[in-house]
Amino acid sequence: MQEEVRELQLRLGIATVLVTHDQEEALAMSDRIVIMNGGKVEQIGTPKQVYSSPGSLFVADFMGRCNRIEGTLLNEGAKGWFLDCGPAGKIRLDAPPHPDARAGEHCQVFMRPEHLTLSQGTRDHREGLKGQVERLVYLGSRSIAYVTLDGDIPFQVHLPNKPGPAEEFPVNGPVAILPQPGAVTLLPD
């Protein structure tokens, strides 16, 4: 039905207002999305903008599962910017979180579960978040790894399932979570 309505919208060139609480439906059917919270507009943007660059914590959580973590900014010169997340480890940032960023500054970031990779063991990783797999749920096209980071922080990683034998992550086994480039997004205050 979504495809039929979307095809009609495009073919006839008509403006349509769709009210939904289904995030996937909104992403699939819209050119622009208005996210409201308590009767007030939180953000207006394209589907990609509201999903990838939310303007508030509410929008980040509302538009899909996101992992949140906080830490202290580190500037390691030529190596770049990192977020030190305490016992959980540290993650590389693609760029300074804002133009006036200073080492030692506290900030929060989010990462979508599908933009993370998981590897076994933690000893060989100087970067990444360290923890252990609590549960692995197979869903056909993907699996969800429920991980508890060191420091008792819950995280999810969505893993694509590939044909043939797949890398297994044993329950209670140590893992490292590494964000893909562009996956770490600063949460607005």
Chunked into runs of 10 residues, the chain (189 residues) has average pLDDT values of 84 87 88 94 95 89 91 90 94 83 89 92 73 91 93 94 73 91 81
pLDDT of residue 158: 94
pLDDT of residue 185: 85
Same domain, 80 and 146: yes
pLDDT of residue 122: 59
Q: How does pLDDT run across 54-78, given as a tens digit for each residue?
A: 888 899 889 988 999 999 999 988 8
**Rounded CA separation 111/155 (Å):** 10
Same domain, 131 and 109: yes
Same domain, 146 and 114: yes
**Range(s) of the domain holding residue 37:** 2-62
178 phi and psi angles, rounded to 5 deg: -120, 125
pTM beyond 0.85: no
pLDDT of residue 167: 63
pLDDT of residue 85: 95
pLDDT of residue 8: 87
Same domain, 94 and 11: no
pLDDT of residue 165: 64
Domain boundary among 37, 62, 87: 62
pLDDT of residue 121: 72
pLDDT of residue 123: 55
CATH number at residue 97: 2.40.50.140
User: Which of 134, 79, 74 lies closest to 102 in space, CA to CA?
Assistant: 74
